[in-house]
Amino acid sequence: MGKKGGGIIRIGIGGWNYEPWQDSFYPEGHPKTRQLEYASRQLTSIEINSTYYGAQKPATFAKWYEQTPDDFVFSVKAPRYATQRKILADAGATIERFLAGGLTELKHKLGPINWQFLPSKKFDAADFEAFLKLLPNEANGLALRHAIEVRHDSFQTPEFVALARKYAVAIVMGADSEYPLIADITAAFVYVRLMGTQAGEVLGYPEADLDLWTQRAQTWAEGGTPDGLSKLGSAAARTKKRDVYMYVISGHKVVNPAAAMSLIERAG
């Protein structure tokens, strides 16, 4: 989806087997073994979270590929063992194992890889540049897109933005949360995690908020920069188009699929 001439806007949720969704999202009696099959036909992307906690078998990635439509795309959370370390330069072997562990069985359905850091991890320019140098542009001939999700206030500096832009790595926008929202564009795509769905809102967010995030996604996809989001570094150059990945995560999780589907309808 996305406006003609713009990039593709993909919208979804984190994972697909949250227990309360059995009653609120999936049809009555829908088998758990076919939840991904159903979810991937209501959404345009899903962020895989299980990869953050442990390795998956190549056969598992291949199964996920087979169960989803041809135009569906996954984003994948990288293993915590790569990011939860004092010296990030030592993460090379972990990164290599992850990328060689069957990830490319997703083939063209592999979207960005989200490297998420703990809220306690502080910004150190040399430390982070050493890590970014370890992220390859391809694996098994498949182009890779990397995004980094940082959660400490020390990252709110132009130096961090410049570093991410140097290596063409996207900064994940953690919106509506306790974490800093860094809205600078540093890559050829945009990665947003909407984390503030609310109890009492059927669609997770008020209609006006859903409209606002839809408009922002469309502006990014068209190569522009939406108003109302402060920047730390220099303005990103306007481009012809950008792909946008937007996930409704956390918050009042039971309504996250409804919020994502409402955003898809608006953006479509």
Give tens-digit pLDDT for 81-115. 999 999 999 999 999 999 999 999 999 999 999 99
Q: Which superfamily is assigned to 9-267 in CATH?
A: Protein of unknown function UPF0759 (3.20.20.410)
Question: Domain spans of the chain?
Answer: 9-267
What SS3 string covers 225-258?
CCCCCCCCCCCCCCCCCCEEEEEECCCCHHHHHH
**Residue 3 pLDDT:** 46
Chain segment 200-228, per-residue pLDDT in tens: 999 999 999 999 999 999 999 999 999 99
Q: Please tell me the predicted confidence (pLDDT) of residue 108.
A: 97
Q: Contact at 8 Å (CB) between 223 and 188?
A: no
Q: For residue 1, name the pLDDT band (cuts at 50, 70, 90).
A: low
Q: How far is CA 228 from the centre of its chain?
A: 21
* Token representation of residue 89: 């330069």
- What are the backbone dihedrals phi and psi of residue 239, each rounded to the nearest 5 degrees, phi first? -125, 175
- The residue assigned the tokens 């503030």 is 196
What ranges make up the beta strands (E) of the chain? Answer: 9-14, 45-48, 73-77, 110-116, 138-139, 142-143, 146-149, 170-171, 173-175, 189-194, 243-248
Q: Please identify which residue in the block is written with the tokens 């953006």.
A: 267
Query: Mean pLDDT throughout 234-249?
Result: 90
